[in-house]
Amino acid sequence: MQRTVEKLQAALRSLLQQECISSELFPPIEIHDATPTSPSVGRFRVQCGPSQGHALSEVLSIFIRLELLDEHSEAVQITCGGYVSRDTLEWSSLDSATLQELFKGVYNQSSVEERLKQMLYSLLDKAQQVRRQPENGGGALWLSDPARSEVKE
């Protein structure tokens, strides 16, 4: 089971990395794997640092969680969440309940790729619109939430 999760997670990382590198809209990215919470779950974080040239005033962190629902058919549930903050965010500061479903079903690379691209560009657009004054604090803003609620650190 864990090998299947690792294979699918590697495919997701590769799709994200290729899209961010091929597009000049993203600053350099870092991808950080997280410790799995179970053999059927893979997690990683994509991070872009602040970049004036890309209109990012803060760190953009995108958390991706992949859960293998059925190993034989490779049915998965992929959830994600995007945050901006002055500092790097870790999985420990994240409430997993805030992640939103990106895909659920039998893994299909073209379907997943299309949804990943939509999510990436939507979160980048939202992150580029964040402008905060230093006196307003640097707590994380959840970009997936229309109310942009603060995340407790």
pLDDT digits (tens, 9 = 90+) for 103-142: 999 999 999 999 999 999 999 999 998 877 665 566 778 8
Q: pLDDT tens digits, residue range 42-73?
A: 999 999 999 999 999 999 999 999 999 999 99
Q: pLDDT tens digits, residue range 29-39?
A: 999 999 988 99
* pLDDT at residue number 93: 78
Q: Calculate the average pLDDT of the chain.
A: 87
Instruction: Determine how many CB atoms are found less than 10 A away from the CB of residue 131.
Output: 9
* b/e map 66-105, b = 16+ CB within 10 Å: bbbeeeeebebebbbbbbbbeeebebeebeeeebeebbee
Q: What is the mean pLDDT of residues 72-85?
A: 94
CA distance 135 to 91: 26
List the beta bridge partners of residue 59: 85
How big is the CA angle at 115 (ends 104 and 90), to the nearest 5 degrees? 80
CA distance 55 to 127: 9
Spatial contact of 120 and 48, defined as CB atoms under 8 Å apart: no
* pLDDT at residue number 144: 67
Listed residue (126, 129, 131) closest to 143, CA to CA: 126
Number of domains within the chain? 1
* pLDDT at residue number 139: 73
DSSP-derived 3-state class of residue 32 = strand
Interhelix angle 2-22/109-128, rounded to 10 degrees, is 50
Checking if the pLDDT of 153 tops 80, the result is no
Which range of residues forms the domain containing residue 7?
2-151
CA distance 86 to 84: 7
| pTM metric for this prediction | 0.87
Checking if the pLDDT of 143 tops 70, the result is yes
